[in-house]
Amino acid sequence: MPNPAALLLLSLSLHFSLCRDPNVLQLTDTNFSHRLKQNPILLVAFFIPWCGPCQKMRPQYSRAANILKGYNLPVALGKLDCSGLGKRTCEQKQIGHHFPVIHLYRNGSFVKEYTNTKDCFGFVKFMRVQILPSAVELKSVDEFKKFIKGQEDVVVVGFFEEESRLRKMFFKVAEKMKERIFFAYTRCEKVLLREGVNNGIVLFRPEITHCRYEEERVLFTGRVVIGEIKNFIIKNYYGLVGCRSPANIIHFPNPLIILYYTVDYNSSGKEPGYWRLRMLKVAHKYQKYVKFVTSAKDDFEEELVDYPVEYGNLMRPFVLAKDLENKKYIMTEEFTSENFDRFVDDFVHHRLEQYHKSKPVPFEGDGVTVMASTSNFNNTVTNNGKDTLLHFYDPGNHTSRLVAMVLREAAHLLLEEDVVVVTMDIGEHEIPPIFPEDKVESLYWLPKDDKENPILYTGRKEVEDVIQFVAEKATTKLKNYDRDGNPTHVKDEL
């Protein structure tokens, strides 16, 4: 009887590999070397069928292959299943663990690993520059019109009547950014007259994204230096609503509003465009105050781990806002234009309540120590009016549990003092930003008059040592201990 697991793997492999990607070469152990020789410039995606990122990339990779075929360039895209008919080749090349892995081959030899964005235009731009110059020349009005009309991504065109400093800087920028941006230039007098530019750089947005909220073309007006030209391109490339991915996250600083969408692996990858259009209807009104982006939930699972995100519903996006201080705010209503507009307006005018990763805690602790959460931190620590000994507690850590027992005993001895011992579970609650991330599971002293500058406790985790530390640091001398931590009087226990 056939192994059900083996049948499942085979069906997944066939589902990924066959007719749905007609312009992607199907590589195997048998034909791999032959295909490398047959295709002078070949991009190879090493994948496994059940890999989420591989499934997400598949429609983008297939679409890129279709576009490149239309350009009639001597380049090709191929894929090799490392769990099936390409397993031996993958083992020989030590491909494993993190998929997909994408390699560029030229004349049968490995050149480099592809590390750009794993989307359609990332693949297309990368492969085009393996053949074409960093900027192609448009020699006639017809060539210019065809070039602009045929693009599905942003293009940057230089218009130059004669040699100039701007022209020199344009080609330097094109060389630096050629794997990310389509560049072209023209010296054609008729094109210059038609466009009304004779020494300038213009960014053109693709026709499919044209809308009344954004300019279809943007003229560079900055200083003629490489940095300003690059910044001009990056700033205007994404428009009012950018498509944020792990590869370009640095281009989207706060304040920021992010719409996380669910990827439909059976679609042609049009979700970003759909949600971008939905956001544009609101974003244009607030562009002076905040940047807007879309992001795939699957790309940012770690970023979303602390939020109530629904992954399965294609029509249920998750919206998160971040202010300049990186405080977070979430949209809890169903996504409609009206609700989204209200959310953005409340964010811009500081009417939203900050979101905290926090679970409910008892109103009191064990009667000796106080339990803190992200939501009650100001009351239990910052504004409690007392010197505070704060323990970031990890219930899964044996040492942390022992420290908690020591602190409970110390707290009992300090009940008559102007000191409070507070415990905060770091697994359930968000740590305030004033504490270093690499010092969690630690003990801090916060004087009642200076809570913004916590002092890390580095002594032994014994009751006597903790009492000595508290006695030394206390704002007001303790009632029952001197500054060295010695008891000032002995209680009669008889």
pLDDT tens, per residue, the chain with 494 residues: 444 444 334 343 434 443 467 899 999 999 999 999 999 999 999 999 888 889 888 988 998 999 888 888 899 999 999 998 999 999 999 987 789 999 999 999 999 999 888 888 889 989 988 988 899 999 999 999 999 987 778 999 999 999 999 999 999 999 999 888 899 999 999 999 999 999 999 999 988 778 888 899 999 999 999 999 999 999 899 899 988 888 788 889 999 999 999 876 555 556 677 888 899 999 999 999 999 999 988 888 888 877 888 766 667 899 999 999 989 999 999 999 999 999 999 999 999 999 877 555 444 445 678 888 877 888 889 889 999 999 988 887 878 888 888 998 999 899 999 999 999 888 777 788 788 766 556 899 999 999 988 999 999 989 999 999 999 999 999 999 999 989 986 544 43
The shares of helix, strand and coil residues in the chain, as percent rounded to the nearest 5, are 35, 20, 45
228 contacts 222 by C-beta, under 8 angstroms: yes
The token pair at 198 is 């004779």
The token pair at 332 is 């809890």
Q: How long a stretch of residues is the chain?
A: 494
Q: What is the pLDDT of residue 467?
A: 94
65 contacts 100 by C-beta, under 8 angstroms: no
* Torsional sign, CA 134, 158, 73, 66: positive
336 contacts 281 by C-beta, under 8 angstroms: no
DSSP assignment string, 328-397: EEE--S---HHHHHHHHHHHHTT-SPPP-------SS-SSSSEEE-TTTHIIIIITSSSEEEEEEE-TT-
124 contacts 67 by C-beta, under 8 angstroms: yes
- Listed in sequence order, the residues at least 6 apart from 317 whose beta carbon sits closer than 8 Å to its beta carbon are 259, 260, 261, 262, 275, 335
Amino acid at residue number 73: L
What domains sit in the chain, N to C, each tagged with a CATH number?
4-128 (3.40.30.10), 136-237 (3.40.30.10), 241-348 (3.40.30.10), 370-473 (3.40.30.10)
Closest CA to 96 of 105, 104, 88: 88
pTM tops 0.75: no
- Listed in sequence order, the residues at least 6 apart from 96 whose beta carbon sits closer than 8 Å to its beta carbon are 82, 90
Q: What is the pLDDT of residue 492?
A: 44
